[in-house]
Amino acid sequence: MLTMNYTYRIYPNVVQQTELRSWLETCPGVYNYALRELKDWIASRKCSVDRCSLEKEYIIPADEPFPSYHRQQNNLPKAKKQFPHLGKVHSQVLQTTIRRLHDTWEAFQKRGYGFPRFKKFGQFKSFVFPQFKNNPINGFTIKLPKIGEVPIDLHRPIPDGFKVKQVRVLSRVRGTQWYVVVTIESEISVPDAPVHGRAIGIDLGLERFLTASDGSFQERPQFFKSMQGKLKLLQRRAARKQKGSQNWEKAQVEVARMHHRIANRRKDFHLKTAHQLCDRAPTIFAEDLNVKGLTRGMLRKDCVDAAFGQFLSLTEWVCWYRWGLLW
Inform me whether the pLDDT recorded for 246 exceeds 50: yes
pLDDT-above-70 percentage for the chain: 93
| Average pLDDT over every residue of 208-229 | 89
CA gap 233, 251 in Å, rounded = 11
Percent of the chain with pLDDT over 90: 59
Weakest-pLDDT range from 122-131, 261-270, 293-302: 293-302
Average pLDDT value for the chain: 89
User: What is the rounded CA–CA span in Å between residue 245 and residue 239?
Assistant: 12
pLDDT tens across 103-121, in order?
Answer: 999 999 999 899 999 999 8
- What is the tens place of the pLDDT at every residue in 67-109? 999 999 999 999 999 999 999 999 999 999 999 999 999 999 9
Give the model's pLDDT for residue 51: 64
Neighbours of 255 (CB within 10 A): 18
Query: How far is it, in rounded angstroms, from Cα 147 to Cα 94?
Result: 15
State the pLDDT at residue 198: 80
* Residue 161 backbone class (left: φ over 0; alpha: ψ -120 to 50; beta: rest): left
| Residue bearing the bigger pLDDT, 54 or 1 | 1
Q: Is 80 exceeded by the pLDDT of residue 144?
A: yes
How far is 256 from 122, CA to CA, in rounded Å? 13
DSSP 8-state secondary structure symbol assigned to residue 290: -
* 122 against 79, higher pLDDT: 79
Q: Is the pLDDT of residue 326 over 50?
A: no
Question: What is the per-residue pLDDT across 175-202, written as a single tens digit (0 to 9) for each?
Answer: 999 999 999 998 877 666 666 678 889 8
Per-residue confidence (pLDDT) for residue 314, from 0 to 100: 92
Long-range (24+ apart) CB contacts under 8 A made by 196-199 are: 196/282, 196/283, 197/281, 197/282, 197/283, 198/280, 198/281, 198/282, 198/283, 199/281, 199/282, 199/283, 199/284, 199/285
Nearest-angstrom CA–CA distance, 266 and 224: 9
Q: Which residues pair with 297 in a beta bridge?
A: none
Look at residue 327 in the predicted model and tell me its pLDDT.
46
Sorting pLDDT into bands at 50, 70 and 90, what band is 155? very high
> Band of the pLDDT at 44, cuts 50, 70, 90?
confident
H or E element, residue 128 = strand 126-129
CB atoms inside a 10 Å sphere around CB 98: 24
Is it the case that residue 323 has pLDDT exceeding 80? no
* pLDDT at residue number 188: 78
Spell out the domain ranges in the chain: 199-326
16-23: average pLDDT? 95
Higher pLDDT, 36 or 122: 36
Looking at residue 282, its pLDDT comes to 81
Say if CB 58 and CB 44 are below 8 A apart.
yes
Q: What residues does 177 pair with on adjacent strands?
A: 172
> Which residues have C-beta within 8 Å of that of residue 65, sequence separation ≥ 6?
71
Helix, strand, or coil here: 133? Answer: coil
The Cα 54–Cα 210 span in angstroms is 60
List, as own/partner pairs, every contact residues 323-326 make where C-beta atoms lie below 8 angstroms and the sequence separation is at least 24, other chains included. 323/193, 323/282, 324/193, 324/278, 324/281, 324/282, 324/283, 324/284, 325/193, 325/195, 325/282, 325/283, 325/284, 326/284, 326/285, 326/286
pLDDT at 229 over 90: yes
Q: At what angle do helices 246-280 and 308-321 cross, to 10 degrees?
A: 50
Q: Are 218 and 208 in contact (CB under 8 A)?
A: yes
Asked if residue 56 has pLDDT above 80, the reply is: no
